[in-house]
C-alpha cells in the first residue's frame, strides 16, 4: 500500500523556489504601493454611506483612488507599455507603427463609410463661411494640410497611402475652388520635399519645423498675391543653441512618454525656434486703421513647430493666432467668428488651417451648429 503512494520530493526544483519568491516579492510590492495610496488625504473623499456601498459607488471610487495614487503608477504603466512595444511591436488602437519606427495616427488611414458625405457637408460650410466673410470685406484663405501618411507614405508599414483616401485631398481642393474659396495647395509643397527629408515628426502627428516653415512660405506667398495692401512689419526667427529630445503626441498615445529612449521609437530631436518682432510699427498700407490685419485659425498644427512665427516672418505682417489644440474641423473658426476679437476688430485676411484627415471624421455639434450666418 505504501508503495502506491505518490512520491513527494523533499526538495523542490529551483524554478519552483524562484516562482514562489517572485510571487512573494510581487505581493509585498503591491502591499507597499497600496499602503502609500491609502495614506493620501484624498481617501477622505471616498463615500462611506450604506447606500453608496450597496450601489457600488463606494467600491468604484475606492479602486480609482488606489489606482491613481500608487507611487509607482507611471513607472509601472511605462514598463508595461514598453514591454508591449519591444516584444510585440504593439502600439494600441489609436496609433500604427510604420517603417524605421515611424508612428502614424489611425485617424489618417481609418476607413469611414460615410467619409464622402461628411466631407461634402464640411466643404459646404467652408464655402458659406467664405461668402459670409466676403460680404464683410474680409478675405478667407484656406490652407488644406495633407496627411502625414500621405506625405510620408513610404514610411507606412504597407508603403502605400490608403486607396480609399487617395483622391481626397485633390477632390476637396477642387470643390473649394469651384465654390470660389481662395486656397493654398500645401500638398505641392510638402510631398516633393517629403521624399528627400522629414516634413513631419516621426513620433508626432504634426509637421516639424522644416515642414511648418515651407508651408508658412507657401501661405505667405498666396496671401501677399491676394492682399498686397497688407501693412508690412519685419520679424526674425532665432534658433536656440541647445538641441532637445521632443516627446511626440503619438508616443503619449501609446504610453511611452515616460519610457527611456532605448525602449521606445527613435525620438525627434530639435532646437527651439523663437520669432521676434523687429519693426516697431507697420509701414503704410491702405487700411492702417485695422489693428489686426491677419488672423490665423486652425488646429494644433498652427500652434506647433513655430508655424505662427514663420508665417509672420514670411508674410511680413502681424498675425493673431486663434487656433485651438484639439479644435478639429471648426472649433477655432466657429468660436472666433462669435467672439469679441472678431466683433471688435475684424481682420483684413483670415487664414483657415484645416488638416485633411478631419474632413472625413464624423460630424460634431460644433461642425453643424452655432455658426453666425
Q: Distance between the two ends of the chain, CA-based, in angstroms?
A: 96
Report the sign of the C-alpha dihedral through residues 169, 173, 176, 178, in that order.
Answer: negative
Question: Can you tell me the mean pLDDT for 327-345?
Answer: 95
State the pLDDT confidence band at 288, using cuts at 50, 70 and 90: very low
Main-chain phi, psi angles of 47, to 5 degrees: -65, 145
pLDDT at 11: 64
Q: What is the mean pLDDT of residues 362-370?
A: 91
Q: Mean of the per-residue pLDDT values for the chain?
A: 86
Contact 343, 295 (CB under 8 A): no
Residue with cell 514562489: 20
pLDDT of residue 126: 98
Q: Are the C-beta atoms of 118 and 362 separated by less than 8 Å?
A: yes
* The pLDDT value given to residue 305: 97
Q: What is the mean pLDDT of residues 6-31?
A: 67
The three three-digit cell numbers of residue 10, written as one number: 523533499
- pLDDT value for 93: 86
Which parts of the chain are beta strand (E)? 95-97, 103-105, 139-145, 182-185, 235-246, 268-277, 294-297, 319-321, 349-355
Which has more confidence, 283 or 51?
51
DSSP 183: E
Question: Where is pLDDT greater, at 370 or 336?
Answer: 336
Is it the case that residue 267 has pLDDT exceeding 90?
Answer: no
Label residue 18 by pLDDT band (50, 70, 90).
confident
Comparing 61 with 340, which gets the higher pLDDT? 340
Mean pLDDT of 318-329: 96
Q: What is the pLDDT of residues 141-189, one digit of tens each?
A: 999 999 999 999 999 999 999 999 999 999 999 999 999 999 999 999 9
pLDDT of residue 9: 57
* pLDDT class of 103 with cuts at 50, 70, 90: very high
Q: What's residue 285's pLDDT?
A: 45
Percentage of the chain exceeding pLDDT 90:
64
pLDDT tens for each residue of 212-246? 999 999 999 999 999 999 999 999 999 998 898 89
What per-residue confidence (pLDDT) applies to 23?
Answer: 75
Q: For position 283, what pLDDT does the model report?
A: 46
Predicted pLDDT at 286: 42
pTM (2 d.p.): 0.80
pLDDT band at 340 (very low <50, low <70, confident <90, very high): very high
For the segment 55-66, the average pLDDT, to the nearest whole number, is: 64
- Choose among 96, 101, 93: nearest CA to 147: 96
- The whole-number pLDDT of residue 334 equals 96
* Phi, psi (deg, nearest 5) at residue 296: -110, 125
Amino acid at each position: 500500500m505504501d508503495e502506491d503512494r505518490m512520491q513527494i520530493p523533499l526538495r523542490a526544483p529551483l524554478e519552483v523556489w524562484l516562482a514562489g519568491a517572485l510571487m512573494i516579492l510581487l505581493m509585498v510590492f503591491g502591499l507597499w504601493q497600496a499602503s502609500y495610496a491609502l495614506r493620501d488625504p484624498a481617501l477622505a473623499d471616498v463615500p462611506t454611506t450604506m447606500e453608496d456601498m450597496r450601489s457600488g459607488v463606494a467600491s468604484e471610487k475606492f479602486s480609482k483612488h488606489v489606482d491613481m495614487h500608487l507611487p509607482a503608477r507611471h513607472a509601472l504603466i511605462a514598463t508595461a507599455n514598453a514591454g508591449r512595444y519591444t516584444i510585440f511591436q504593439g502600439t494600441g488602437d489609436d496609433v500604427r507603427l510604420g517603417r524605421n519606427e515611424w508612428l502614424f495616427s489611425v485617424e489618417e488611414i481609418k476607413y469611414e463609410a460615410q467619409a464622402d458625405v461628411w466631407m461634402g457637408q464640411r466643404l459646404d460650410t467652408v464655402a458659406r463661411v467664405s461668402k459670409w466673410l466676403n460680404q464683410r470685406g474680409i478675405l478667407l484663405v484656406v490652407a488644406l494640410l495633407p496627411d502625414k501618411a500621405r506625405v510620408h507614405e513610404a514610411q507606412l508599414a504597407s508603403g502605400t497611402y490608403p486607396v480609399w483616401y487617395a483622391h481626397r485631398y485633390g477632390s476637396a481642393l477642387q470643390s473649394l475652388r469651384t465654390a470660389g474659396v481662395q486656397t493654398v495647395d500645401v500638398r505641392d509643397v510638402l510631398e516633393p520635399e517629403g521624399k528627400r527629408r522629414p516634413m513631419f515628426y516621426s513620433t508626432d502627428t504634426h509637421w516639424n519645423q522644416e515642414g511648418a516653415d515651407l508651408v508658412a512660405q507657401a501661405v505667405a506667398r498666396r496671401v501677399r498675391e491676394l492682399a498686397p495692401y497688407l501693412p508690412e512689419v519685419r520679424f526674425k526667427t532665432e534658433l536656440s543653441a541647445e538641441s532637445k529630445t521632443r516627446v511626440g503626441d503619438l508616443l503619449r498615445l501609446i504610453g511611452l512618454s515616460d519610457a527611456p529612449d532605448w525602449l521606445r521609437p527613435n525620438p525627434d530631436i530639435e532646437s527651439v525656434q523663437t520669432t521676434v518682432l523687429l519693426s516697431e510699427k507697420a509701414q503704410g498700407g491702405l487700411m492702417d486703421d485695422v489693428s489686426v490685419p491677419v488672423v490665423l485659425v486652425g488646429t494644433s498644427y498652427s500652434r506647433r513647430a513655430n508655424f505662427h512665427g514663420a508665417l509672420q516672418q514670411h508674410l511680413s505682417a502681424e498675425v493673431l493666432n486663434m487656433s485651438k489644440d484639439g479644435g478639429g474641423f471648426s472649433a477655432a473658426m466657429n468660436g472666433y467668428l462669435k467672439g469679441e476679437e472678431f466683433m471688435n476688430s475684424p481682420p483684413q485676411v483670415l487664414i483657415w488651417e484645416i488638416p485633411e484627415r478631419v474632413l472625413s471624421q464624423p460630424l460634431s455639434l460644433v461642425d453643424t451648429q452655432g455658426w453666425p450666418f
